[in-house]
Structure 1
Amino acid sequence: MLIRFFLQTSIWLSAMAALLFVPAGTTAWPEAWIFLGIIGGVGAAAGLWFARHDPGLLRERLSSPFQAGQPAWDKAILSLFFALYLGAFVVMGLDAVRWRATVMPVWAEAAGAVCILVSYAIIWRVLAENSFAAPVVRIQAERGQRIVTTGPYAIVRHPMYGGAILFLLGTPLLLGSSYGLVFVPLLVILLAIRSVFEERALSERFPKYAAYTEKVGYRLAPFVW
């Protein structure tokens, strides 16, 4: 499984590098190398940790984002999300380097790096708490899925999405692209829509989920929504 993990990670990093450096027209882009170093380093550390402590979760995280039995609405939302997400990297490479349309202050780029690191810390904590956090909306009956209400889930109902928002915000800041920031609200809206549909699916499968939503009133961010 570790071989598969490192192979998929290498392919993903290579794809990210191509999406950044080809539109930029150069590899002389320090912020992009910092970004790739962060996601590659944290990703490798997380993979090794979960391979030892929760291989079942790692196996799920390595699975395809499009699977049999996955709701059609989830496939549609993920397809649009990935299209916008990957397209944003092309725009950021053009904006920050080739066109030089944006001049991002150093403090904003540093803030972006912090957002990404905090995002990873949140997501890591979520995965450590919830072994059923698969990349697709699917009831994992074969793994005895249950509703997790502890840890970050005692604060918001979708803490991984909350952490992902910080990543989405931090990426264009670190890469120095104001054009990239335009994609953030669109991607957040898709996460919000997915959370609503996901809760409907969970409520149909787990009768106790309704009580959980009453106890934890926020979906993505405390005191916001």
Structure 2
Amino acid sequence: MVSNAVRALVWLLFLVGGGWLGVWLDLRLWPAWWHDPIWHLASALAGFGVFRIVLTVSRVTGRWLARCGRVGELPRMQTNRLVTVGPYACMRHPMHLGLMLFPLAFALVLGSPAFVLFVWPLEALAIVLLVHLVEEREARLKFGADYAAYARRVPAFNLAPSCLAKLLQDPPERPDCTNTLRIAQE
């Protein structure tokens, strides 16, 4: 299992490394844009809008996990139930889809067209690979056959408008989680 501290470090490296690479490329490819205040204002406003979406998706998916994915006393941010309701009913990794937009928000706030055009797509690909190589493996180990059946039914990511809408809707205070979840095998 990869610790949350390691995951946070990887995210930080993505942002800082990608940010610096984007700025470096901008200064070489589009120096006029880098000094244009109108571009920076428009880009920053777009970036803050995307950042708000990222925060909303993280909050919504985190609440679904907190309300449906935990039975008993567990360390913070740990789950022991497979969540298959809410946004998890139509995609296995809704939080990661939202987090995939975080580097884009950062790039837009920086006003870096090179980051948006070149670095962010590579970071998004890296996130998809991390989900496939780390998150999927850990979920299969944790939830076994239940997760394998879930993975056969539900795609890792789903861009259908009805599914994306679920990413922006808070779960009810007491969602009905009992009929669709299985406690993880210890």
TM-score (norm 2): 0.62
- Tell me, yes or no, if the aligned pair for 2:23 and 2:115 is still in contact at 8 Å: no
- In 2: Cα distance, 1:100 partner to 1:175 partner: 15
Q: CA-to-partner distance for each residue in 1:144-169, whole Å, 9 max, x for gaps?
A: 61111112211211111111122221
Query: What does 1:91-106 correspond to in 2, within 5 Å?
Result: 91=21, 95=26, 101-102=33-34, 103=36, 104=39, 106=41
The residue aligned with 2:139 is: 202
**Which amino acid in structure 1 is aligned with residue 101 of structure 2?**
L
How far did residue 80 of structure 1 move? 5.7
Q: Number of residues paired by the alignment?
A: 141
- In 2: Cα distance, 1:201 partner to 1:162 partner: 18
- Tell me, yes or no, if the aligned pair for 1:81 and 1:187 is still in contact at 8 Å: no
- In 1: Cα distance, 2:95 partner to 2:59 partner: 9
Q: RMSD of the TM alignment (CA)?
A: 3.2
- In 2: Cα distance, 1:157 partner to 1:114 partner: 25
- In 2: Cα distance, 1:130 partner to 1:221 partner: 18
- Tell me, yes or no, if the aligned pair for 1:156 and 1:220 is still in contact at 8 Å: yes
Query: What does 1:74-153 correspond to in 2, within 5 Å?
Result: 82-91=12-21, 95=26, 101-102=33-34, 103=36, 104=39, 106-131=41-66, 143=74, 145-153=80-88
The residue aligned with 1:52 is: none
Query: What does 1:25-44 correspond to in 2, within 5 Å?
Result: none
- In 2: Cα distance, 1:194 partner to 1:91 partner: 21
**1:192 matches 2:132:** no
What's the secondary structure of 2:53's corresponding residue? helix
- In 1: Cα distance, 2:85 partner to 2:153 partner: 12
- In 1: Cα distance, 2:61 partner to 2:112 partner: 29
Q: CA-to-partner distance for each residue in 1:62-90, whole Å, 9 max, x for gaps?
A: x8513xxxxxxxx7xx7665433212233
Distance 1:205 1:64, change over 3 A: closer
**Which amino acid in structure 2 is aligned with residue 156 of structure 1?**
M
- Tell me, yes or no, if the aligned pair for 1:155 and 1:222 is still in contact at 8 Å: no
Distance 1:171 1:80, change over 3 A: closer
**Which amino acid in structure 1 is aligned with residue 148 of structure 2?**
A
- In 1: Cα distance, 2:123 partner to 2:113 partner: 15
Q: 1:160 aligns with which of 81, 86, 95?
A: 95
The answer for unaligned runs of 5 or more in structure 1 is 1-62, 67-74, 133-140
- Tell me, yes or no, if the aligned pair for 1:84 and 1:183 is still in contact at 8 Å: no
Distance 1:119 1:84, change over 3 A: closer
Distance 1:82 1:106, change over 3 A: closer
**Which amino acid in structure 1 is aligned with residue 48 of structure 2?**
A
Higher relative contact order, chain-length normalized (CA < 8 Å, sep 6+): 2
What's the secondary structure of 2:66's corresponding residue? coil
